[in-house]
Structure 1
Amino acid sequence: MDLENRTYDIRYVANYLRKSRAESMEDLEKHRMVLTELCIKNSFKFVEYMEVGTSDSIDMRPEITKLLKEIEDGVYDAVCVVEYDRLGRGDLGEQDRLKKAFQKSETLIITPDKIYDLNNDIDDTYADLKGFFARQEYKMITKRLRQGKIIGARRGQWTNGIPPFPYVYQRYRDKYNEKGLVVNDERMPIYREMIEKALSGIPSQKVAQSLNQRGVFTPKGNYWSAITVQRLLLDETHLGRIISNKTRGSGHKNKRPNAKNYEAIPKSEWTVVENCHEAVKTKEEHDRIVAILSSRKRIPTKSRKQSHVLTGLVKCAKCGHAHTIHLVDCKAFVRPCAYIDPLGNKCRNKGILSDTLEEIILKEISKYQSEIINSSETVDCQQSDNIRAEISEFENLLQKYKKALETVNDAYELGDYNREEWQTRKRKWQKLVGQTEDEIYEMKKIYQSNQNISDEERKQNLINFLGNIRTMTDNVQRNDLYRTVIESIVYLREGNTIDVKINFK
């Protein structure tokens, strides 16, 4: 091939095809035709590499990664592309990586209207200009896409990829929601089954197993998993709302060197748009499911086996974490709290003989039954006051964390910290602020869920509990019976003084 009075001996080439964001597979076929005709016209023997992904990072594009290694090994005389920027529109580091591979192996780049020899100063400069403008164009496109996604979400449009089960995008039979979600009626009974079972206390793992055993699979034909079911149960899209601004940064294992670290944004800062599509669960159902799953999440994995009557029920009054149960010489003990906070402080709430604690609990439940029968309104008020007091404590703690964050920022401005130390301290307090805000959010959900149980249901559950708890011998059955009337047991021991507060359902 002769171009611009230069002669090249080109026999073996690679045809690299990559679909950009705005293009279809039909466009990719047109590009393939152009490159194939180019090779036939010039008698090139060619191997094709086709990339469908749209990432600008080389490491996230398997075909260009494979091709780049073969270029470095000198396998090809040239690489054919429809436009120079098809090889990549990454940052300067990415473009330099591509250029060095072509320069060291003396591999050419061929487009339908030009040959680039990157060891030639003129071609090298021209390639730099092409790369610069391609990068600027890419940055503008991605910026507009991000802005469009944010604006679309705030308008109530679905911009989050594949819709969560049982929804589909825009249309199902005679249903239509422009740029929104509609319910797939065939999937709806399966989703409602998940909700009903979760509300009855059946774990997500058993819900998934039940569906799999009956041959009811995911839309992609895969088995259901506990994680998938739990995500669907907690997804607030099913309330008819669209939520955006939940995270920032990249969590990809091969993210670009200059990419921001992945970070979950506190729920208080999310953007929530209501009434965007048909809801498939009620707010009350969602809050109860959150409460059920939150209580299970705080229970250590071994404790979920319900090997003892109080397994998973006893929580530390100092830190809110679960106490575990262990056996010593055939006697059950509530272990001392082993929690250590993010600052390294140990909780140090002491343990107790399980039988001793259970007798205290049974007396409190009997007392509660008398109070709810005589004056359910007073008990409800007391219970509400206890939960509100706990929320208030966390809100006070939140203000302390925010104050500490302000102090760190002020100290940096005064020159007390260098930038690296400031960023480390700032991230620590920001994380604590976010965790505490999420804790308050979950507690408010539990509080709201508790209000949904009627006084009559409470009375019947208490009658059933007190009539059977002392006659049952199976620990699993006794634990299940406790869970019909108790959300948690808040336990504190200082010396020989024992304080027990029960959060009733």
Structure 2
Amino acid sequence: MHLDAKRLIELGVEAIINYLRRSRADEEYEKKTGEDTLKNQADLMDRVLSGYGIPYDQVSEIGSGDKISTRPVFQKVIEDLRSRKYQAIAVKEISRMGRGSYTDMGIIYDLIIDLNIFIITPYRVYDPSNPADLRQIRFELFMSREEFETTRERLMGGRITAALAGKWVSGAAPYCFIYDSSTGFLDLHEKESADMKQIYLYYVYGVPDFKNQGELRDVSYRALATFLKRHTNILTPEGSNEWHPMMLRRLITHERNIGIHRFQPKGQDPIIIYSPKVVDEDLFSKAMEKDQASRHKPRTKLDFSPCELAGLVICSTCGRRMIRQFSVQHYQRTDGSESIYEKEFLWCKEPGCTFLKYRSVESQLLKVLEVLETLDADKLRTYIENSANNDDKEILERNRIEMMDSLVTRRSNLKKRMDFIYEKYEDRTYDDETFQSRKSAIEKELNEVDELEKLYTGVKVDKKREINIQQVQKNISTVLKAYHSSDNKTSKNNILRAVFDHAIVEVIEKGKGRREAKFILKPKLRADILGGKSLV
């Protein structure tokens, strides 16, 4: 049924919202012709709506029609329609309202039916009370979604083909690289890659020590961030000098610096794309080794030297690492003289949590080593087996199990593919050559799975490592002697961290006044105390 202006007014249409959206086809057309398609669309709808004589507003949006959630303008249009501010929506074509998921299409369709919203296009007015019009609306919504999926599949197929050829397909070139539009490959950005290599050298070998000329100082990510900000002109990927520790860690540990990039199509295995290397693999490996070895190192500022217990002691209540607090208080005696009292505590940053006298905890850690030094071989072996930190071994074993599970899944999928090609061969869909080619490819993958299963079955992690008791005893004695002979707090921290992975402290009775708190200390020895080489 034809609906003219008079009929629309009789049906209760008092205001119209005209929604304009630039589509992908419009964008491609603009690139070729330079025309403003959004303005052309607005002019067209102006001519159409002017003839109805009903007040209308125009709103425009530039973006994909994939999701309602990513289109704030259309979200506002929906709100206005629900509030009955408008009784009709005008679009160039129904697909302009959206080509999103079936859930999104359901939202649009339910809105049209529940509120009796008329749809006005340049060629037709759709009446939601007319079954034929509703059928056409459903068809248009469905076809627009199918068109979108087809376009997306075509584009993704092109990206996968390009990625398999080693071309960059993941948007803007990452830090340290530039995109060569003529070849599709990545090349090194001269300045950024040089800066990144220098950052690796600072992290692996140290930064200049301004207190000791000619020497280098080992740095954490935090100290390196401070050094880069204060003493270099190296800028972040965003172009500022505000370096942050986590940003540095992400940059340094990223495998793209050795020329490895991963493109992950949805539901498929990642495709490896190779590029020129920012640093050589030897330097990258050294950085990774330092990163792994620095998990529990104290995160100190560049101009700060860690104290004896820095990064070692963990609060049992909240699980946070405890820090040193030092203060000096001056008291006036009754005779007028001044008394100076130094306070040194180990405290948790969580308000109202735990604090202890610093030297009491240090003393207890040393007593642990003194007791271990006096134990006989059997008791020492038992203690070490129960207290050495085996986290790394457990992670390896967990990764091994996960890999075995993934291989089982992969074998199952390959067998399904094999069954499929046999079915196609039996019903003559595949000729002999196609069948043999695909069968050989699957058999090759199955052989790879067999080899990987043998490999991971053979490397099962043995948590019970051989313990060299004589070397452990020697290590403990050496540690104690080195600790007591050193007068440098940072050196003492390094000595303790050579033996202890961490120590958990639990307060069992709070202190009051001069009465010290009572606590239980549960130290965890490092796994490498078990064997073969001297720790200090």
The answer to whether the superposition gives a TM-score over 0.5 is yes
Residue pairs, 1:32-181, within 5 angstroms: 32-40=39-47, 42-43=49-50, 46-54=56-64, 56-170=66-180, 178-181=183-186
**Residues 394 and 221 of structure 1: CA distance in aligned 2, closer, same or farther (over 3 Å):** closer
Equivalent AA in structure 1 for residue 272 of structure 2:
V
Residue pairs, 1:54-453, within 5 angstroms: 54=64, 56-170=66-180, 178-199=183-204, 200=206, 201-212=218-229, 217-218=235-236, 220-221=238-239, 223-245=242-264, 270-273=270-273, 276-297=274-295, 308-309=307-308, 311-312=310-311, 329-331=357-359, 333=361, 353-356=364-367, 398=399
Determine helix, strand or coil for the equivalent of 1:147. helix
**Residues 272 and 353 of structure 1: CA distance in aligned 2, closer, same or farther (over 3 Å):** farther
Q: Structure 2 CA distance, aligned partners of 1:40 and 1:487?
A: 82
Q: Could you give the per-residue CA deviations for residues 121-148 of structure 1, whole angstroms, max 9, x where no partner exists?
A: 2211101001111112222222333333
* Gapped regions of structure 1 (runs ≥ 5): 250-264, 316-320, 335-351, 364-388, 409-436, 444-464
Q: Structure 2 CA distance, aligned partners of 1:356 and 1:20?
A: 73
Determine helix, strand or coil for the equivalent of 1:197. helix
Q: Could you give the per-residue CA deviations for residues 193-232 of structure 1, whole angstroms, max 9, x where no partner exists?
A: 3222322353334444455557765454554443333222
Q: Structure 1 CA distance, aligned partners of 2:173 and 2:372?
A: 46
* Gapped regions of structure 2 (runs ≥ 5): 207-217, 324-345, 347-354, 375-389, 410-455, 462-478, 504-520
Q: Which moved more, 1:61-70 or 1:214-223?
A: 214-223
Alignment identity in percent?
Answer: 19
Q: Could you give the per-residue CA deviations for residues 411-450 of structure 1, whole angstroms, max 9, x where no partner exists?
A: xxxxxxxxxxxxxxxxxxxxxxxxxx9xx9xx9xxxxxxx
Q: Could you give the per-residue CA deviations for residues 76-126 of structure 1, whole angstroms, max 9, x where no partner exists?
A: 343332221111112332112112223344433222222223332221110
Q: Structure 2 CA distance, aligned partners of 1:49 and 1:228?
A: 40
Equivalent AA in structure 2 for residue 183 of structure 1:
L
**Residues 402 and 183 of structure 1: CA distance in aligned 2, closer, same or farther (over 3 Å):** closer
**Residues 219 and 108 of structure 1: CA distance in aligned 2, closer, same or farther (over 3 Å):** farther
Give the drift of 1:6: 8.0
**Residues 392 and 208 of structure 1: CA distance in aligned 2, closer, same or farther (over 3 Å):** closer
Q: Structure 2 CA distance, aligned partners of 1:55 and 1:301?
A: 47
**Residues 89 and 481 of structure 1: CA distance in aligned 2, closer, same or farther (over 3 Å):** same
Q: Structure 1 CA distance, aligned partners of 2:5 and 2:55?
A: 24
Contact 2:308 2:490 in 1 (8 A): yes
TM-score, normalised to structure 1, is 0.58
Q: Structure 2 CA distance, aligned partners of 1:303 and 1:355?
A: 27
**In the alignment, which residue of structure 2 is the partner of 1:18?**
21
Q: Could you give the per-residue CA deviations for residues 300-342 of structure 1, whole angstroms, max 9, x where no partner exists?
A: 8799998543544799xxxxx99989685554548xxxxxxxx
Contact 2:65 2:97 in 1 (8 A): no
Q: Structure 2 CA distance, aligned partners of 1:189 and 1:85?
A: 49
Contact 1:79 1:108 in 2 (8 A): yes
Contact 1:169 1:182 in 2 (8 A): yes
TM-score, normalised to structure 2, is 0.56
Give the drift of 1:14: 3.0
Q: Which moved more, 1:94-103 or 1:217-226?
A: 217-226
Q: Structure 2 CA distance, aligned partners of 1:216 and 1:102?
A: 57
**In the alignment, which residue of structure 2 is the partner of 1:384?**
none
Determine helix, strand or coil for the equivalent of 1:182. strand
Contact 2:226 2:301 in 1 (8 A): no
Q: Structure 2 CA distance, aligned partners of 1:285 and 1:322?
A: 33
Q: Could you give the per-residue CA deviations for residues 28-58 of structure 1, whole angstroms, max 9, x where no partner exists?
A: 9314322333214532655443333326221
Q: Structure 1 CA distance, aligned partners of 2:500 and 2:99?
A: 56
Q: Structure 2 CA distance, aligned partners of 1:81 and 1:89?
A: 14
**Residues 402 and 192 of structure 1: CA distance in aligned 2, closer, same or farther (over 3 Å):** closer
Q: Give the length in aligned residue pairs.
A: 376
**In the alignment, which residue of structure 1 is the partner of 2:493?**
479
Q: Structure 2 CA distance, aligned partners of 1:203 and 1:209?
A: 10
**Residues 42 and 131 of structure 1: CA distance in aligned 2, closer, same or farther (over 3 Å):** closer
Q: Structure 1 CA distance, aligned partners of 2:109 and 2:298?
A: 53
Q: 1:7 and 2:12 equivalent?
A: no
Q: Which moved more, 1:125-134 or 1:61-70?
A: 61-70
RMSD (Å) for aligned C-alpha atoms: 5.1
Equivalent AA in structure 2 for residue 280 of structure 1:
V
Equivalent AA in structure 2 for residue 203 of structure 1:
S
Contact 2:23 2:65 in 1 (8 A): no
**Residues 37 and 287 of structure 1: CA distance in aligned 2, closer, same or farther (over 3 Å):** same
Q: Structure 2 CA distance, aligned partners of 1:494 and 1:205?
A: 28
